[in-house]
Amino acid sequence: MNSIPDMYTLFSENFNLDYTLDCGQVFRWDLIDGWWTGVVNGHVARLQQDKGSGEVLVDCSLPKCFFENYFRFDDDLDSILQEVNKDKFMNEAINKYMGLRLIRQDPWECLISYMLATAWSIPNIKRAISMMCRNYGDEIEDGYYSFPEPHALVHACDDDLRACKLGFRGGRVIKAARHVEDGNLVLDDIFQVDYEEAKQRLMFLEGIGEKVADCILLFAFEKMEAFPVDTHVEKVVKTVYGHHEYFNGNATKSKIGNWGRMYFGRYCGYAQQYFFYQKRLEGI
DNA sequence: ATGAGC
DNA sequence: TCATC
């Protein structure tokens, strides 16, 4: 018995689905037979972009407005990129990867995902999250699992999570779930407070340092001024901008974060993601 | 700390 | 040994 597919199209000026889903900000999407397939908001989704028209064909029971919000179609990407286009190097990244948009991720899923990301490369993170969802999420379609809610992870024991090969990260996930479940950390409140205060609240959790906090703040909490400095961004900035007076010959990670905010301005988070993607694909 | 790759 | 969104 065939069910009627929920198909519709999605469109925004200046949107590249491949760059957006491949750039390393999300871990639940895979390109399968030409369709980006993933689980979002408890639903399986399959997306394919027409290279000519730019229209995205969507096969998912979530409404169009969900994806318009998810892909931040409310961001005027042209003016944002214009604003962060400060020099020749940035201009090159922008021109190459034009259409890469930040994604508005679910706060809880984003928090746990980046907690798991510590000292792992993207393929490892994807594998671990997928295993965790298989063991603690709900099966929503054959072989596809939702991201586990806090209560499901609170009741996980260390050994079970070790079976997901989370290593030292397992205990941190359980503790974070408990903080959220107990109301010590109210994720919705993070939206209300400013960047610095939000960062402090996240860094209160074990396993969340400055870089992880910045990723979560940028990808889930609307803090565009977050400028996550990982190994890639660190190398790029040191190589390309290391001579700037600002660094005084000493470009630490924390200084790089502050520099990014100052140099690129309020949309530095976008600039950072273009750098990150370019560095991953092309090296330096 | 751990996995990929040499 | 190297790299780790």
pTM of the model: 0.95
Give the pLDDT of residue A4.
55
Q: What was the pLDDT predicted at A171? A: 87
- The gap between A118 CA and C3 C1' (Å) is 12
Give dist(CA A281, CA A278) in Å, integer. Answer: 5
Portion of chain A with pLDDT greater than 70, in percent:
96
Please name the nucleotide lying closest to A170, CA to C1'.
B1
Residues A277 and A22: their CA atoms lie apart, in Å, by 9
CA dihedral sign, ordered A120, A126, A131, A133: positive
CA of A29 to C1' of B4 (A): 22
Beta bridge partners of A58: A8, A47
At residue A249, the pLDDT reads 87
Phi and psi, residue A35, nearest 5°: -115, 130
Q: In whole angstroms, give the CA distance from residue A107 to residue A180.
A: 11
pLDDT, one tens digit per residue, over A216-247 is 999 999 999 899 999 999 999 999 999 899 99
The DSSP call for residue A265 is G
Task: Break chain A down into helix, strand, coil percent, rounded to 5.
Answer: 55, 10, 35
pLDDT at A78 over 70: yes
Residues in chain A: 284
